[in-house]
Chains A and B, each alone.
Chain A
Amino acid sequence: MRILTTTIAIAVGLLVLLGYFFPQASVFQLILLDWAILFSGVAAWVGIFNLVMVHADKVRRNAKDSVYSAILILGLLVTFTFGLILKPQHPYMQAFILNGIIIPVEAALLGVLTVTLLYAAIRLLRRRSDVMAIVFIFTAAIIFLGSVTLPLGDIPILGTLIRPWVSQIWALGGARGILIGVALGALTTGLRALFGVDRPYGGA
């Protein structure tokens, strides 16, 4: 089983990768990616089914907060049933589910983040007042003060000179370092999976 799974992972990986470099191999690449999209969809369904099972078990055991689990299952089943019948693009699905529940809840949760982030920033200064924390808060303050429009107008120099310089040069250098670091990490992880060194699908 271990040899079979490793061979499948390496063969599929190489065929998909070859499609990026050789147009002749792109036919195989498209078919394999099509299957990968389908399998990812089935895997997501398995995950959602598992979520239902976990919460149904809580309801069955009458565990603490099981009423919330029942609400979750009810919401999921109603949305799923109507979505299957009406399709996601239907005006009722858009109005009730997307614009009535999902988008307002996401926006409100993002709004709640203003208080949480402010609290986290204050806690950071109280608990860890090292160079990095001070630089972090000082930079955030410069960006805020440089962006804000006061009744008397923008703050001179800070808004027109310092804020763009900090965000477009100093921060960009660090951001590029982080981005390139993340890309190098992703590249290494991908190569390890492709060479069969890492086998996250099991059979290590």
Chain B
Amino acid sequence: MPVSLDLITGALSFLFTILILSYLIGDNPLFKIAVYLFVGVASGYVAVVIFWQALYPKLFLPLWQVALTADINRGLFLLAPLLGSLLLLFKLFPGSSGAARIVMAFLVGAGAAVTIAGALSGTLIPQVNATINFFDMRSAAARNISAFEALGNGAILLLGLVTSLAYFHFGARQRPDGSAKRFGLIEWIAWLGRIFIGITLGVIFAGVYAAALTALIERISSLVNFIRVLFGIP
């Protein structure tokens, strides 16, 4: 019988699923083998993807083309990324890792700018707009939602938003005995915020648990299917 690619994939998948699920009877060498091998394989895969998606097209290929065409202008333009990449390699040597600080500063600057833009345009503005839209009576009427229901739901949502934010306010006044205590009103609002955060985390927990349960069922189903296919059981 010729060994097909699907059969080998199925066998590997079967083996690693069994090794990982063996954790359910306790931490054991089989589980450790699977996890360590997984970390190694995943790291190797990430390194390869980085090479083919970033390093090769953005550095090695242009450098190769410059070497072939002897284009000085393009070569000068590649000097900064080449130098930066070489400086980063100094991170491997503890004695000279300070040389990589310049590139790390570059990454922090670029990362900070992307974070600011992302937080503003990706979260803050859309979330605030979506909260405001909850009080849009015309939009609610178009969806056959009564004004009372829209206002009630909007008020609950706004209350949850404000009190949850207040929960993360940690400004406090120092007492004469040295201990710190939040302001009375903030403390009260934060207590209400805890209820909303508890509800939110409960819903997230249920969602994650449902996803985990689905994954477990899928794995068990794949084990059963592999055995059925292997032994020709209908």
* A residues neighboring B (CB under 8 Å): 1, 4-6, 8-17, 20, 32-46, 48-51, 53, 65, 68-69, 71-80, 83-84, 87-88, 91-93, 95-105, 107-115, 117-118, 121, 131-140, 142-144, 147, 166-167, 169-184, 186-187, 189-191, 193-194, 199-203
Contact = CB atoms under 8 A, between A and B. Distances in A.
Nearest to B215: A110
Contact of B43 (A48, A113, A115, A190): A48
Nearest to A105: B38
B64 interface: no
Nearest to B210: A147
A75 B47 CA distance: 13
B119 to A, nearest CB: 4
A16 B9 contact: no
B208 interface: yes
Contacts of A182: 123
B203 A171 contact: yes
A75 to B, nearest CB: 3
A60 B85 CA distance: 29
Interface in B112-156: 112-124, 127-128, 130-131, 153, 156
A140 B110 contact: no
A111 B109 contact: no
Given A173-B158, A177-B163, A76 B92 contact: no
B20 A112 contact: yes
B4 to A, nearest CB: 10
A177 B49 contact: no
Contacts of A183: 119-120, 122-124, 127
B124 A100 contact: no
Nearest to B34: A105
Interface of B: 5-6, 8-9, 12-13, 16-17, 20-21, 23-24, 32-55, 58-59, 80-81, 84-85, 88-89, 91-92, 98, 101-124, 127-128, 130-131, 153, 156-165, 167-168, 193-213, 215-220, 222
Given A10-B109, A140-B206, A96 B55 contact: no
Chain B interface main SS type:
helix
Contact of A38 (B40, B55, B127): B55
A108 to B, nearest CB: 4
B113 A111 contact: no
Contact of A173 (B84, B118, B161, B220): B161
A100 B198 CA distance: 39
Contacts, number: 409
Contact of B199 (A44, A93, A135): A135
A203 to B, nearest CB: 6
B58 A79 contact: no
A120 to B, nearest CB: 9
A166 to B, nearest CB: 7
B206 A5 contact: no
Nearest to B169: A181
B161 A177 contact: yes
B119 A174 contact: no
Nearest to A195: B112
B108 A108 contact: no
Contacts of A139: 198-199, 201-203, 206
A136 B161 contact: no
A73 B58 contact: no
A102 B127 contact: no
Given A111-B216, A173-B156, A181 B84 contact: no
Given A105-B20, A111-B21, A39 B88 contact: yes
Nearest to B203: A171
A12 B110 contact: yes
B58 A194 contact: no
A99 B84 CA distance: 36
